[in-house]
Amino acid sequence: MRNDQRHLKHQDTKGTKKTGHLFIIQNSKSLFIFLSVLGVLVVTAVFSSAWADDYTIAKPNYKWAFPTDHGSHPNYKTEWWYYVGHLKDPKGKRYGFELSFFRVGLNRKTENPSSFTPRDLYFSHFAVSDLSAKKFWYAEKMNRTGPGLAGASEGRMNIWNENWQAWREGPGHHLKADGDIYGLDLIVQSPIPATLEGQHGYSRKGSDPKNASLYYSFPWFIANGKLRVGSDVKYVSGKTWMDHEFFSGDMDPNELGWNWFGLQLSDDTELMIYLMRQKDGSFHPASSGTFINKAGKATHIYLADIHTKVLETWKSPKTGATYPIHWEIVVPSQRLKLDVKASLDDQELDTTKSTQVVYWEGAVDITGTKAGKDITGEGYMELTGYDKAFSLPKN
pLDDT of 122-157, one tens digit each? 999 999 999 999 999 999 999 988 888 999 999 999
pLDDT at 266 over 70: yes
Q: Are 237 and 166 in contact (CB under 8 A)?
A: no
CATH of domain 3-384: 2.40.370.10
pLDDT of 211-250, one tens digit each? 999 999 999 999 999 999 999 999 999 999 999 999 999 8
pLDDT at residue 112, as a whole number: 60
CA end-to-end span of the chain: 25
Strand 3-11 vs strand 270-278: parallel, antiparallel, or unpaired? unpaired
Domain spans of the chain, in order of start: 3-384
Mean pLDDT of the chain: 86
pLDDT of 44-67, one tens digit each? 344 334 445 689 999 999 999 999
Query: Which of 23, 42, 226 minimizes the C-alpha distance to 121?
Result: 42
Q: 355: pLDDT confidence band, cut at 50, 70 and 90?
A: confident
Cβ neighbours for 63, distance < 8 A, ≥ 6 positions apart: none
Cβ neighbours for 373, distance < 8 A, ≥ 6 positions apart: none
pLDDT at 3 over 50: no
Q: Give start and end residues of each alpha helix (H) in the chain.
A: 30-46
**Position with higher pLDDT, 119 vs 32:** 119
pLDDT at 310 over 60: yes
Can you list the pairs that 350-355 forms with residues at least 24 positions away whose Cβ atoms lie under 8 Å? Answer: 350/7, 350/318, 350/319, 351/123, 351/125, 351/140, 353/3, 353/5, 353/23, 353/140, 353/142, 354/3, 354/5, 354/123, 354/125, 354/140, 354/141, 354/142, 355/102, 355/123, 355/125, 355/140, 355/142
